[in-house]
């Protein structure tokens, strides 16, 4: 693991050590981090933070412009970002690639601009591809929500090239994309500016204040509903409930064709059970004895027991109860 983290992970060789500065927005601080990520970058960032005198102000966002550096430094910076629950962004006109993406991906909220680039590629150890480092990198960003296409681009792009993320991939990674014309410099996360309190919303003349119109409306409904039920004409018996197709949410629906038959013919209830299972009078004494013998059996269990005997003997429900009682007594003598 230590060997994998020690690999160089930079997209360009002309980078310089990371430099830190900050901007003030009210009581909030935005940190700008520009340059190459060193192996001890977390210590360098902690030392810089310790030297600042911000009073009551608090850092809430760190904005990157870096082509990468050492993987161990990227992992350590990500730990700092997660520990202090910082938002992360990429500077307008800037780039965040390689190890920088590890620190950027650790933000509580991530952002970029339409004129920035964020990219990934394989890790390298000298002039060779570092397989362990590449797998660690891929696992790291995947655990922090990277889309599958980003992970695939990472593990298939050589160290001397960069797989730049598309706007669609950034949005799939829950990234806020800010227009470069929105502000000079960077507003990866806009400062929290107090908005003027809006005045009371004018109400129409017919609306009662504080929603009191609801009470008379409910009263009207309570009076009108019974009157409607008493005065409406009942539908003729046997008439179909609806006629013709209806348009429901843009879909044409036709009620199933129902033939009610002659009006003088009453609908007859059909018992789907076999003849030997149709409703028959059960001797109350047998029913009482059955309930007493199987008092610990669930209702479903009792019905299953009766159904088993009626299917086996083609008998009535009462006879099935009697046979079940006899069987229980034989087995429990």
Instruction: Provide the residue-wise pLDDT of the chain in tens; the chain has 333 residues.
Output: 444 455 555 444 445 789 999 999 888 999 999 999 999 999 998 899 889 888 888 899 999 999 999 999 999 999 999 998 999 999 999 999 999 999 999 999 999 999 999 999 999 988 889 999 999 999 999 999 999 999 999 999 999 999 999 999 999 999 999 875 454 344 444 433 334 445 555 554 444 444 444 444 455 555 555 545 555 555 554 544 444 444 433 434 344 444 444 444 444 444 444 544 444 567 888 888 888 888 888 888 888 889 989 888 888 898 999 998 998 888 877
The torsion region of residue 98 among left (phi > 0), alpha (psi -120 to 50) and beta comes to: left
Count other C-beta atoms under 10 Å from residue 182's C-beta: 12
- Residue 201 is assigned to a structural domain of this protein: no
What are the backbone dihedrals phi and psi of residue 150, each rounded to the nearest 5 degrees, phi first?
-70, -45
Residues 175 and 299 in one domain: no
**Claim to verify: residue 174 and residue 285 sit in the same structural domain:** no
Backbone angles phi and psi of 193, in degrees to 5: -100, 130
In a domain, 280, yes or no: yes
| Same domain for 160 and 34 | yes
- Helix 71-83 and helix 41-51, axial crossing angle in degrees, nearest 10: 40
Per the domain annotation, does 222 fall within a domain? Answer: no
| Backbone phi and psi for residue 237, each to the nearest 5 degrees, phi listed first | -65, 135
- State which of 121, 154, 182 marks the end of a domain: 182
Residue with tokens 């760190």: 62
Q: Are residues 281 and 169 in the same domain?
A: no
Are 171 and 279 in the same domain?
no
Structural domain total, the chain = 2
Inter-residue contact 31 to 196 (CB < 8 Å): no
In a domain, 14, yes or no: yes
Closest CA to 281 of 257, 251, 317: 317
Angle at 75 between CA 19 and CA 6, to 5 degrees: 95
174 domain-assigned: yes
Q: Examine the fold and report which residue of 182, 207, 224 is the final residue of a domain before the chain moves on.
A: 182
Longest dimension (CA), the chain: 100
What CATH number has the domain bearing residue 127? Answer: 3.90.226.10
Instruction: Say whether both 55 and 160 belong to one domain.
Output: yes
- Please list, residue by residue across 279-312, b when 16 or more beta carbons sit within 10 angstroms of its beta carbon and e when fewer do: eeebeeebeeebeeebeeeeeeebeebbeebbee
Q: Is residue 217 part of a domain?
A: no
> What is the helix (H) or strand (E) element at residue 252, kind and residue range?
strand 251-253
Which tokens is 222 given? 């309570």
Residue with tokens 């060789």: 13
pTM exceeds cut of 0.75:
no
Residues 6+ apart with CB under 8 A from 173: 105, 110, 145, 146, 147, 150, 165
Q: Are residues 32 and 160 in the same domain?
A: yes
26 within domain boundaries = yes
- Do 304 and 177 fall into the same domain? no
Structure tokens, 22: 């900050």
Q: What is the H or E stretch that residue 307 is in?
A: helix 299-313
Domain ranges, residue 310: 275-331
For residues 103 and 75, is the Cβ–Cβ distance under 8 A? no
Whether 198 is covered by a domain: the verdict is: no
Given 3-state DSSP classes, what are the helix, strand and coil percentages for the chain, each rounded to the nearest 5?
40, 20, 40
Q: Is 317 helix (H, G, I), strand (E, B) or coil?
A: helix
Asked if 319 and 307 touch (Cβ cutoff 8 Å), the reply is no
Query: At which of 182, 207, 228 does a domain end?
Result: 182
């Amino acid at each position: 693991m230590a060997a994998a983290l020690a690999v160089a992970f930079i997209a360009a060789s002309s980078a310089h050590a990371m430099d830190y500065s900050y901007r003030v927005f009210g009581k909030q601080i935005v940190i700008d981090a520009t340059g190459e990520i060193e192996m001890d970058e977390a210590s360098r960032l902690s030392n810089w933070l310790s030297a600042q005198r911000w009073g009551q102000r608090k850092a809430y966002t760190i904005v990157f412009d870096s082509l990468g550096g050492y993987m161990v430094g990227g992992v350590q910076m990500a730990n700092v970002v997660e520990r202090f629950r910082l938002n992360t962004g990429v500077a307008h006109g800037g780039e965040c690639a390689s190890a920088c993406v590890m620190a950027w991906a650790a933000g509580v909220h991530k952002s970029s601009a339409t004129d920035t680039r964020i990219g990934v590629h394989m890790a390298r150890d000298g002039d060779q591809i570092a397989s362990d480092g590449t797998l660690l990198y891929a696992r790291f960003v995947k655990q922090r929500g990277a889309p599958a296409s980003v992970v695939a681009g990472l593990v298939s792009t050589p160290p001397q090239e960069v797989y730049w993320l598309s706007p669609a991939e950034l949005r799939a990674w829950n990234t806020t994309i800010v227009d470069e014309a929105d502000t000079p410099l960077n507003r990866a996360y806009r400062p929290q500016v107090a908005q003027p309190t809006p005045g009371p919303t004018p109400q129409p003349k017919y609306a009662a204040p504080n929603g009191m119109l609801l009470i008379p409306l409910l009263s009207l409904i309570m009076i009108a509903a019974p009157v409607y039920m008493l005065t409406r004409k009942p539908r003729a018996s046997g008439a179909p409930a609806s006629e013709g197709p209806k348009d429901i949410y843009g879909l044409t629906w036709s009620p199933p064709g129902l033939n009610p038959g002659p009006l003088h013919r009453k609908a007859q209830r059909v018992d789907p059970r076999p003849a030997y299972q149709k409703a028959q009078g059960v001797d109350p004494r047998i029913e009482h004895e059955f309930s007493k013998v199987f008092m610990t059996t669930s209702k479903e269990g009792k019905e299953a027991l009766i159904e088993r005997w009626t299917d086996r003997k083609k008998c009535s429900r009462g006879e099935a109860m009697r046979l079940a009682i006899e069987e229980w007594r034989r087995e429990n003598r």
